[in-house]
Chain A
């Protein structure tokens, strides 16, 4: 992770966005980066929409780094039971640590956040991040992304405060592929009046980052692990 040093972490950080935009991967990396800076972090997997590929997959890594993960009771089992863990309330009711919340995709996923909304709004120290991947077929333009944002906001009753441009084509991501999305990310930022707090890249060799075009506005470059 690079150049993300002057960001001021909020007490609660929530990751929301379209299905498959990379919320879970990003949330795990975000939590790890906070931990590296010596902050006390707890994480909640509140994805009750998709039982495959979830935060629970990273539980061992998180535990090693000293991050407690709260996830639904039957996560990664053979039971598809969309029930939220009771312990998740501790993330919004206790304030002696930083909380990172990974929420399910689209408005359907965002409904799960709704029950914690009153606590989050009352405390009023949160960042609600829209994770944008312009290579996802239903959010290929700024306007399509805005449509998804509005649906999510009306489901969880909290407004977004920031954007992370997480555009990628999986293992076929190149600098050109990311560069091609910068304009759309900026358009999304302007139209929603929200800052882009990071542009992400999985970059084992450093080649991609080297070839990224100069990023304007408030974007930062954020290198994430697989």
Chain B
């Protein structure tokens, strides 16, 4: 297919349709409303279902239902709305169901503001709901990646039978870039566990997250974490930029990584040997490469649109072998390449 000019939000919606998603449930909130608006226009034309639920809680439980029936399904929201969805996400994780949840983050806490943010990192990667569970979390950094990782998210969700999150921010959702969408990508797998009617031919399936027997509940938790180990081994994605001879390493994802790349290029011009590692999956986090990098570089700089959340994972991954500094803005503000450059220069002075 040839290129079209799309907003990040639209790219998510169209990519989901390309991936075979025919069920969307949501509730409007800035800055991701275009996802719902696009689905409202497209779904009726292709025999799909668009439903504006009465709340985010309602929408995520509709997702739970359709996921249980074994169909590709998604919901999307922005930070406060995603907080409301946490109970449902935990239930979906507990019932081992595939689904896509999109969070186009805005400033927080509370109602915060409508401008971009990355301060839902903890919520997305550490289990925003209750119980022991994980989400695979993709952090795209371009409109093309918004489309690509939406499609991938449906595939990994099915493959591992678990909820997957696409974590973007207001800038990524609203910005327009050329995108190429693949024509057919649907790789739906058999779902013998789905509740679609037994036709009196088999024992009925059960979708459930309640276990009255504590030993059984513990067993499901242990089994689930065995699966998470496989995912950590196989599904971790990251990008290295100018890292070959780097003495300093910037770590940033999503929109912050794009700003950081400009700062890295500028720092290189000034003779500073700096590179960038961009986690594409925030869980699983690129622990291995960061651990290896810690033996090569003098220091790290975590660039985030939060008060410093991913920085904790950078410190864990690098086992605090080298200093890890923070460069950040919050409240909907975005660091400029100049601010990141200044932080890189400061890092070179502090970590020699």
A residues engaging B (CB < 8 A)?
A: 19-20, 50-53, 78-80, 108, 133, 135-138, 140, 168-170, 172
Contacts and interface: CB of A to CB of B under 8 A. Distances in A.
Nearest to A169: B178
A20 B174 CA distance: 10
A137 B114 contact: no
Q: Could you say which of B37, B115, B176 has the most chain A C-beta atoms within 10 Å of its C-beta?
A: B176
Interface string B3-16: 11111001000100
A126 B174 CA distance: 31
B174 A138 contact: no
Contacts of B114: 51-52, 78-80
Contacts of A172: 3, 178
7 contacts: A50-B174, A51-B31, A78-B112, A78-B114, A135-B178, A136-B5, A169-B5
Interface string B146-174: 00000000000000000000000010001
Contacts of A19: 7, 34, 37
Interface of B: 3-7, 10, 14, 30-31, 34, 37-38, 41, 107, 112-115, 170, 174, 176-178, 331-332
A78 B111 CA distance: 10
B31 A52 contact: yes
Contacts of B177: 170
B14 A137 contact: yes
Nearest to B113: A78
A20 B176 contact: yes
Given A169-B178, A170-B178, A20 B3 contact: no
A166 B114 CA distance: 29
Prevailing SS type, chain B contact patch: mixed
Q: Could you say which of B5, B170, B174, B332 has the most chain A C-beta atoms within 10 Å of its C-beta?
A: B5
A78 B31 CA distance: 11
Contacts of A51: 30-31, 114
Contacts of A53: 174
Contacts of A168: 5
A52 B174 contact: yes
B7 A20 contact: yes
A140 B181 CA distance: 14
A110 B81 CA distance: 28
A52 B106 CA distance: 12
Contacts of B107: 78
B310 to A, nearest CB: 23
Nearest to B7: A20
A95 B37 CA distance: 37
A137 B4 contact: yes
Contacts of A170: 5, 176-178
A138 B113 CA distance: 29
B4 A135 contact: yes
B30 A80 contact: yes
Contact of B170 (A52, A136, A138): A52
A35 B5 CA distance: 30
Contacts of B37: 19, 108
B292 to A, nearest CB: 35
Nearest to A177: B3
Contact of B5 (A50, A52, A78, A133): A133
B44 to A, nearest CB: 13
Nearest to A21: B5
A73 B4 CA distance: 34
Contacts of A50: 174
B3 A138 contact: no
A133 B3 CA distance: 13
A137 B6 contact: yes
Contacts of A169: 3-5, 178
Contacts of A108: 37
B30 A136 contact: no
B178 to A, nearest CB: 4
Contacts of A137: 4, 6, 10, 14
Q: Could you say which of A19, A50, A137 has the most chain B C-beta atoms within 10 Å of its C-beta?
A: A137
A78 B332 contact: yes
Contacts of A140: 4
B148 to A, nearest CB: 16
A217 to B, nearest CB: 24
B105 to A, nearest CB: 14
B146 to A, nearest CB: 13
Given A51-B114, A78-B332, A108-B37, 17 more contacts: A20-B176, A50-B174, A51-B31, A52-B30, A53-B174, A78-B331, A135-B178, A136-B5, A136-B6, A137-B4, A137-B6, A168-B5, A169-B5, A169-B178, A170-B178, A172-B3, A172-B178
Contacts of B178: 135, 169-170, 172
A169 B41 CA distance: 22
Nearest to B181: A137
A223 B7 CA distance: 23
Contacts of A80: 30, 114
A137 B39 CA distance: 13
Contacts of A78: 107, 112-115, 331-332
B22 to A, nearest CB: 18
